[in-house]
Amino acid sequence: MRSGAHTLQRPAAPHLSFGDLMQASGRKGKRVRIAKGQEIITAGNRHDKIYANHDGWLFRYKLLHSGRRQILDFILPGELFGFQAVLPSGALYSVATMTDAVLTAFPADAIDQMFDRSSRLSKALFRCAMREAAILGERLTNAGRRSAYERISHLMLELFVRLSSAGLVQGKSFHMPLTQELIGDALGLTTIHVNRTLRALREDALITIEGKCVTIGDFDALSALSDFEHSYLDGTELRRDRDAVRPVENRSGRPTRLA
């Protein structure tokens, strides 16, 4: 079912759909391909686009003067990003691709349009921002008050749930293009300690990672030990409609660089 028309009947939790954004932007969204390792948004700069991620993984991050990096969040297929970059003070953190990715870039004023034209979409945008805050709150709790073992468990469960709402899990497994370095930078750990902790989780038959494939051995045990409670992820992701997340037909094409 398409969204955008019969939405006022929906009681609560209106999702934001790709079509909504397309419409609000006057169909000005432009689809682009980005190679892995490209920076889309740079901390401190103002940007005039917001993005929908169709395919690929990205991450938001900050660099400290010491060279350390903190990853704030991962951007999975079906999610929006770039709202904060249009603030007058400039982007608070950078965004980069970790795999080849397919995005749609919308002019930033599409956001203004949405606020001006539809209270339903305004609420959906607000929910988007609230969800981002909720995820960051969980990450903070991770870094502040959980052991490496608990942190990794929690992150894997979160990815599992977020990916399943995008239809990207198979049984108890999912594809995860994260290196141990990226996991460490997201959780405030070193690569080496991530490696040791993953071994422990594997030996305990809780989480197994083979190549880029993660398998959840015991969801309930992991939830219990890491205080995972999935309600903070509920129902506010970008609504998947026909255009939002679809497999890209022409995988051989050269990725585009952003202007």
| Residues at the contact surface with its own copies, assessed by CB under 8 A | 12-13, 62, 64-65, 68-70, 72, 83-84, 87-90, 92-93, 112, 115-116, 119, 122-123, 125-127, 129-130, 132-134, 136-137, 139-141, 143-146, 187-188, 224, 227, 231-232, 234-235
The interface partner of residue 211, options being its own copies, DNA, none and the CB cut-off 5 to 8 Å by kind, is DNA
* Piece in contact with DNA (CB under 7 A), picked from 57-65, 100-108, 193-201, 216-224: 193-201
List C-alpha distances in Å: 8 to 3, 28, 124, 126, 234: 11, 25, 12, 17, 20
The interface partner of residue 195, options being its own copies, DNA, none and the CB cut-off 5 to 8 Å by kind, is DNA
Cβ closer to DNA: 24 or 207?
Answer: 207
CA dihedral defined by 161, 167, 170, 175, rounded to 10 degrees?
A: -70
By CB under 7 A, is residue 195 in contact with DNA?
A: yes
Q: Which residues contact 121 (CB under 8 A, 6 or more apart)?
A: 14, 16, 20, 24, 114, 115
- Residue of 24, 108, 124, 148 that binds DNA (CB under 7 A): 148
The conformation of residue 210, written as its DSSP 8-state character, comes to E
| 175 contacts 209 by C-beta, under 8 angstroms | no
Q: Which residues contact 75 (CB under 8 A, 6 or more apart)?
A: 53, 57, 58, 59, 60, 81, 95
Question: What residues are paired with 137 via a beta bridge?
Answer: none
Cβ closer to its own copies: 33 or 146?
Answer: 146
Cβ closer to its own copies: 72 or 159?
Answer: 72
- Residue of 95, 124, 189, 244 that binds DNA (CB under 7 A): 189
Interior/surface letters 217-249, b for 16+ CB within 10 angstroms, e for the rest: eeeeebeebbebeeebbeebbbbbbebbbeeee
Q: How many residues bind DNA (CB under 7 A)?
A: 19
| Minimum distance of DNA from residue 66's CB (angstroms) | 9
Cβ closer to DNA: 11 or 144?
Answer: 144
What are the residue ranges of helices labelled H in the chain?
Answer: 18-24, 109-117, 119-145, 148-165, 180-187, 191-203, 219-226
By CB under 7 A, is residue 113 in contact with DNA?
A: no
- Residue of 28, 46, 196, 246 that binds DNA (CB under 7 A): 196
* Piece in contact with DNA (CB under 7 A), picked from 7-15, 123-131, 173-181, 215-223: 173-181
The conformation of residue 46, written as its DSSP 8-state character, comes to -
Q: Which residues sit at the interface with DNA, rule CB under 7 A?
A: 147-149, 179-181, 184, 188-193, 195-199, 211
